[in-house]
Amino acid sequence: MKDDRESFIAERAARVEDYRDDGPLQEAAEGFMRESLRARYSYQFDWLGLPIIQYPQDVFALQEIIWRTRPDVIIETGIARGGSLIFSASMLALLDLTDAERAGVPVADRRRVIGIDLDIRAHNRQAVETHPLAGRIEMVEGDSTDPAVLDEVRRSIRSEQRVMVCLDSSHTHDHVSKELDLYAPLVTPGCYCAVFDTVIEEFETAVFPGRPWGKGDNPMTAVRDFLARDSGFEVDESISDKLLLTVARSGYLKRIA
């Protein structure tokens, strides 16, 4: 049979282009996002036994990014119940498994995840530390914007290692802006800084009752300000465009310089 892989990829790209102008599809996606955010839909999923608190579509996007860019270290701000750490650790374990040159490397040199959270609750810490992938995870308790926390993270990364960052802690404009200024410079060219919950900007504050963030004060506004002053990153809109359902619309930032 004829090798149709190139044409298959081209068809997919053309389909995403069509999505942008597909009014009924865009309207359906927006309606689902609004109602699913209200219903706390993202809280319903686990990754290898721990709650991940993400939309499955965004988890799939992260999988594609990690496989393609092959980071050595993933830095995550916001640990919650630990599922995202386990997801990243499992992906990095797969990368090590498929890299022949890394076969038999010492444990200290394996790919790993660094998770940062202001308050790591004892039961969540225990769940992560007793997981089979715990050996690939380092947890740092403290404010992600504290210079001492950043220094601790920096000390854990060697200069030759490829770094990816995921920002998913407090969603106020000021906090995310500080995180971008501190952690985006750690991202390796060609790798990504994923900023979650930019979707807050797309809906009225009533969708997020009782939160200190809302329309006009959220990760999206922080991303816009960051990109205006840092030309080293660009939004990979192709990811959001194909997902349709994502809390990180325009939040997948690729380092280009």
At 3-16, the pLDDT tens digits run 999 999 999 999 99
pLDDT given for residue 40 in this prediction: 93
SS3 253: strand
CA–CA distance from 29 to each of 14, 24, 32, 244, 250 (Å)? 19, 9, 5, 6, 15
All structural domains of the chain, each given as residue ranges with its CATH number in brackets, are 5-255 (3.40.50.150)
What is the spatial distance between Cα 183 and Cα 169, in angstroms, rounded to a whole number? Answer: 13
pLDDT given for residue 204 in this prediction: 76
**Blockwise average pLDDT, block size 10, the chain, 257 residues:** 92 94 96 94 97 98 98 97 98 91 71 97 97 97 97 95 97 97 98 97 78 90 97 97 97 96
pTM: 0.94
